[in-house]
């Protein structure tokens, strides 16, 4: 069952999200953070609209959000969580490095609102592990385990 937002947890609007994530349209897949507990968990939303560019080809007869983008949306929420959980986040880039045990339970269509929930299960200097779940109207539509690489900017220039 999805979590319910808690009033005492940090929330972020799109302006704050844009300062954290490097993604931009059409690949920014988080619209708002409802709840953030540093080092622990995040709850965010993605509004799925008919105007999403991927719906032009996926599929012309019945619009369905690609599963990889559903997982990417929860991974981006996890990136926001990591940003708030590591020291000196401005000098670190987070890269999705693996997805394990991904399951897609129901199709996501235009008009749905994704509730993205990610829990930080392990954080190391160069890698992190998260469990992600995605809900629509209280029903789970996707889930998986996400591994992310943490690369310092100075390492990228070497």
Neighbours of 26 (CB within 10 A): 11
Instruction: Tell me the C-alpha distance between 10 and 58, whole Å.
Output: 35
Q: Are strands 41-47 and 32-37 parallel, antiparallel or unpaired?
A: antiparallel
Instruction: Tell me the C-alpha distance between 49 and 114, whole Å.
Output: 11
Q: For residue 2, give both structure tokens.
A: 């999805």
Q: State the catalytic residues.
A: 58
Instruction: Tell me the C-alpha distance between 12 and 10, whole Å.
Output: 7
Which residue's structure tokens are 């926001």?
80
Q: Tell me how far apart the terminal alpha carbons of the chain are, to the nearest angstrom.
A: 45
């Amino acid at each position: 069952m999805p979590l319910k937002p808690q009033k005492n947890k940090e929330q972020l609007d799109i302006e704050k999200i844009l300062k954290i994530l490097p993604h931009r349209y059409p690949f920014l897949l988080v619209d708002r953070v409802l709840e953030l507990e540093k080092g622990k968990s995040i709850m965010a939303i993605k509004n799925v609209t008919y105007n999403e560019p991927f719906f032009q080809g996926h599929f012309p007869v019945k619009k369905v959000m690609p599963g990889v983008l559903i997982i990417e949306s929860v991974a981006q929420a996890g990136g926001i969580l990591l940003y708030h959980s590591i020291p000196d986040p401005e000098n670190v880039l987070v890269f999705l490095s693996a997805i394990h045990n991904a399951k897609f339970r129901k199709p996501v269509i235009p008009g749905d609102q994704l509730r993205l929930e990610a829990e930080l299960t392990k954080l190391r200097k160069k890698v992190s592990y998260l469990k992600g779940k995605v809900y629509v109207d209280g029903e789970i539509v996707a889930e998986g385990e996400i591994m992310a690489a943490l690369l310092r900017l100075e390492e990228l220039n070497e």
